[in-house]
Chain A
């Protein structure tokens, strides 16, 4: 094991210290919030100052509580999350100060949940014991939206709880990954052993095929009853990636992807709303006044930004539909330019890289699968929505993790990150114990 897995690698001072890293990550968001506040014109009593103070406060407190980043599991992941939250909050503040104030609350709850998971989880293996409860809860949450759900933006994925509306599918996603990790750990050996072949393709035995078909069915149910293409892709996509991690067999993933494609094709044949998404994706310009409006407006916004953007408060991101939520990336590109957009994409790339790094280091299978699954969830979600906003893949209504406005999504993303950070911290602690033993013996 190399030195960088250990806390000792993070010096107290200098360019690679967690303090420097953390400060660098906070700065762009804070600068953006400052610019958005200045551009709003009313400097006194502007909610911008409160948002700015709330944001820096939440992250600073967390940073300090975790030994200035050293006990947070992975200061890089923590800093990347702070960076993404800051940039997102700055753009939401620029679009709607009222939403930004609420978003600070979501951030505080998310960071708190993440901190609790990192600091107080006795051991991730405890979580493993609750895998079936997690699965059941996840299914109940999904079922609740199918039965009691309220439609918003074409997808029936909201639950109206009086003062607040929540999106249970966000929590269901995280719980489902917990279940996947536990289930795949159990069946790992079986999955790898299967060696029946049909036309040269490795066939899995029933232990694999059963749950896979179940997951496939779940994704289709989501598609059909909830009209939530994004959630379906995420549930099934993350499952396939974790299945690959557990089995090491690309044929499973390809087979699963083929199943999803077939399901998608059947759905687009059966349901006009799914078909419309695909047709619009192929040529949004033909439908720029109807179903392609969002994509076209989003591309206009991205093009308006140029290299460095117009600056927060100087663009016209209000004309993008759903700018604070699904299309926040387009708004960021308009006002922070190619540089801002690439920084956000780069942050996700690095976040995924670090998360998977911890998965590959994990000494425990459950921990590895959990870290890989949570990381893939965030990575896949970012890819899906940014790709949709840029017209690269069909548009699906999912949020950009940490960046989009939305409490359910924010808290779920922080929960996922918290579990990855917890896995990293356990890995380090175990490693330190081992080192200690080695040095005593030596």
Chain B
């Protein structure tokens, strides 16, 4: 009987140890998430007498602040940035950075309980949450908003060497301070003003994806810069002889024998369909995935994953041709396009995008600084350089001439993406200065028509603002 009692004793001790581990998991490891959970009644209680932290741009320009302890919140930031910064409303909850940084802004977590106890006992006046400082540059943001004014769509500018977001615009917008008054109208509005097009909007990229396809083709080794492709204005892409589907160049113009550089500069669809076939569906699919297509980007606010195809790598001949010209099942967000084109500019290295530079305590000490990290390296530097030169040619003598700036080499590519919702979406992706990029941009104007005429000038203004100190 002694032995069995001893075994039961051990079993009990193990069970109590498991219980302790579970307590540690819930009470310590999962505590930050649980304590900031929007449905936790303690969050609302904390909110009632705290000065919620502010949101500031890179040079300290305020975007959101509390007017008094417990709110309401006052918004004074650039109107094009509201989707990113979001709102905090007593009735409708939180969105954007106000949601994803809720616990930091309320000062929950990130601080030991001893420190918070000391603060509760000794602090005079209302408690204050932490401030968050963004990477967004007011000059670039203003320029992007001016250029996008009155146009439905999105623009993203980032530093390709770090991944820091310089500007982000989504149109149309809303007034974050008036959410509770305008909610009914906002949710019914056809323009989806609450929707962050820059991170969640998914569009076919059209020809804007061609630099990426070119980079995949070159790094796959089956296409060389000297290879020429025959363009007679249109090409049959169907699987069988009686399949009449075809890919054609704009206005059915025949480009003749074109190499990769000419195919990008003149945006030749027929050549890219053939390039896609030569690369093959597997390498094409994997290459796009390595550029983070079809996979949600890690970011400070939610991002949409986009898609390469519905059925994975099983693409037929027509699908390969469609994807190679940025049509068919391929869709991506403007943020994704900016990151991908930034990788071309940055020698094939894709940085993780981020917009919150640091979290600061009320007394000004840095609690956390976001490090710049490498997300992926989709293509080698040599390939990235070659594609970059082709993109420069597209701006100097090709379809992207409207993006050119005096005194600086701009690399770019336009896109005019067919879509089922009317006129084509106008795209532009690019970066400058080409030899040492400091700003990568992606612009999409919904149903804007020609990328070269509509999106490229928007990108030019954004790049001009980003390079304003060197241009002068």
Contact = CB atoms under 8 A, between A and B. Distances in A.
Contact of B8 (A296, A307, A309, A356): A356
Interface in A341-358: 341-342, 345-346, 348-349, 352-353, 356-357
A296 B272 CA distance: 55
Contacts of B22: 387, 390-392
Interface of B: 1-9, 12-13, 15-20, 22-24, 26-28, 30-31, 33-35, 37, 39-42, 45, 112-114, 116-117, 120
A342 B22 CA distance: 11
Given A303-B31, A305-B113, A346-B20, 5 more contacts: A248-B3, A300-B35, A302-B26, A306-B31, A372-B5
Given A248-B1, A307-B113, A311-B117, A345 B41 contact: no
A7 to B, nearest CB: 22
A316 B45 contact: yes
B28 A241 contact: no
Contacts of B20: 342, 345-346
Contacts of B4: 244-248
B12 A337 contact: no
A236 B9 CA distance: 18
A368 interface: yes
Contact of A303 (B3, B16, B35): B35
A376 B9 CA distance: 9
Contact of B9 (A246, A310, A345, A356): A356
A325 interface: no
13 contacts: A241-B8, A245-B5, A246-B4, A300-B37, A306-B116, A311-B117, A338-B27, A341-B23, A349-B16, A353-B12, A356-B5, A356-B9, A360-B6
A319 to B, nearest CB: 5
Contacts of A296: 39
Contacts of B6: 356, 360
Interface of A: 241, 244-248, 288, 296-297, 299-300, 302-311, 314, 316, 319, 333, 337-338, 341-342, 345-346, 348-349, 352-353, 356-357, 359-360, 365, 368, 372, 376, 379, 383, 386-387, 390-392
List 9 tightest A-B contacts by C-beta distance, closest first: A306-B113, A303-B34, A349-B16, A303-B31, A356-B9, A360-B5, A248-B4, A300-B40, A352-B12
Contacts of B23: 302, 333, 338, 341-342, 345, 390
Given A356-B9, A372-B5, A390-B23, A306 B28 contact: yes
Nearest to B16: A349
B146 to A, nearest CB: 44
Contacts of B9: 352-353, 356-357, 360
B26 A310 contact: no
A306 B42 contact: no
A415 B192 CA distance: 67
A383 B15 contact: yes
Contacts of A376: 8, 12
Given A338-B27, A342-B20, A353-B13, A308 B42 contact: no
Contact of B1 (A246, A308, A346, A391): A246
A245 B12 CA distance: 14
Contacts of A311: 117
Nearest to B121: A311
Contacts of B37: 300
Contacts of B15: 383
